[in-house]
Amino acid sequence: MFSTFVNAWKIQEQRKKILFTGLLIFLFRLGVHIPVPLIDATAIRSIFSNSNFFGFLNVMSGGALKQMSFFALAVGPYITSSIVVQLLTIVIPKWEEMSKEGEEGRKKLQEYTRYIAVALSMIQGYATVNYIGSQGAVKNPGFFSYFAIALTFTAGTMLLMWMAETIGEKGVGNGVSILIFAGIISQLPSAMIGMYQDAMAGTIPWWGVAILAVIALFSVAGIVFVTQGVRKIPVQYAKRVVGRKVYGGQNTHIPFKINQAGVLPVIFASSLLMFPETIMQFVNATWATKLNAVMGTGTWLHTILYIVLIFFFSFFYTMMQFNPIDTAKNMQKNGGFIPGIRPGKPTSDHISRIMSHLTVVGAAFLCILVLLPMILSALTTMETGFGGTTILIAISVALETIKSIEAQVMQRHYKGFLD
């Protein structure tokens, strides 16, 4: 890993990308410590001190939520907006046509994503300030104060959205993932210190801390294994004579990742569940309280929905990234075939079957990783924002970013036939 950064640092273009990404991360961390106006900091700390749900949201926002800072909503509304647009692309024929029009269609859908993100930010921002206002954490409470704070939250999310898109274009890695990763890592030292202090005070058992540490270590090892693991499907190409030259005749393979969708199913599933739950937490109404008691974090319904969404997004993004029918057609055109499988539809069915099996295994692993810390928290009453979800996001983003840098370095050092 360190050698990858050293090699990338030697290349001027890559060095500029790394420095640019680091600058935007620094601005993100700076904005986390800029509080919005009209907020009582003491009251905010008392509201969020004893909630596992708010602790998770606070970790995902890099500590911005607990401070009610400029970036309190983080990139959550933008992620939710991206999910909505991608799902509607399948439902709305006009949007589906846009997605196939290349760069221009992608820009139009990205514009819709931004508009929806603004609306979701305003809704979530106003619900947030309405809740903390009902708890006496807003100075001079009233519509205009609430609206001003919600507008500030929305502006912060829009700025983070611009940062994420800019990192994707001019920096290294996926912008949204990089910002989430930076927020999670920034909260890790304080979380470890807080857990140590609670264990010393007898608030939480030491054996619970030890089990959590073991789970974390095995989770890291499992994430690396599943992320890097592939199944290689052998492919043979028949020899073809074109003029005086002979093409093909070699044996190769198609690598299928165990977890083709990566960390996206967990990010999207948690974001999709967090948005309505956040609204219910912050709306001071009887129906919201009852609904939150039924499907809030830790309930059976929430857990079941979480698992279903992880499986759904795993299959959804695997199908979006890889089309078995096109792969089978391309193999047949180039004289390729899988040993023991006839070309054409049998080949595409065989590839689809393998992809489905691998996706089930990958999605099941993600669910186990997410559920283990929840079970431990229920057994030991340990309340921490860190769990399988945050560990998975942090490790997966780090691996994907390193792979991205390695690919760019390899492309930069690639030598052609004339070199």
The string of pLDDT tens digits covering residues 341-395 is: 888 888 889 889 998 999 999 899 888 888 877 776 666 666 555 566 777 778 8
Helix (H) or strand (E) holding 336: strand 336-337
177 lies in some domain? yes
**pLDDT score of 416 more than 50:** no
The string of pLDDT tens digits covering residues 231-270 is: 888 888 776 666 666 555 677 888 888 888 877 888 788 8
248, 344, 393 from 338: Cα distances, Å: 14, 11, 35
Tokens of 313: 């997004």
Rounded Cα distance between 78 and 271, Å, is 10
116, 142, 261 from 130: Cα distances, Å: 21, 9, 37
Domain span at residue 93? Answer: 2-413
198 lies in some domain? yes
How confident is the model at residue 245, as a pLDDT? 65
89 lies in some domain? yes
**pLDDT score of 316 more than 50:** yes
104 lies in some domain? yes
33 lies in some domain? yes
Comparing 69-78, 79-88, 315-324, which segment has the lowest mean pLDDT? 315-324
Instruction: Provide the pLDDT confidence category of residue 283 given band limits of 50, 70 and 90.
Output: low
114 lies in some domain? yes
149 lies in some domain? yes
Q: What is the CATH number of the domain that holds 160?
A: 1.10.3370.10
pLDDT, mean of residues 218-227: 82
Question: Longest C-alpha distance within the chain, in Å?
Answer: 86
Neighbour count for residue 53 (Cβ, 10 Å): 19
Higher pLDDT, 49 or 107: 107
Listed residue (396, 417, 403) closest to 184, CA to CA = 396
The pTM of the whole model exceeds 0.85: no
Q: How many domains does one find in the chain?
A: 1
418 lies in some domain? no
Neighbour count for residue 220 (Cβ, 10 Å): 14
pLDDT, mean of residues 55-64: 76
**pLDDT score of 3 more than 60:** yes
pLDDT, mean of residues 209-237: 82
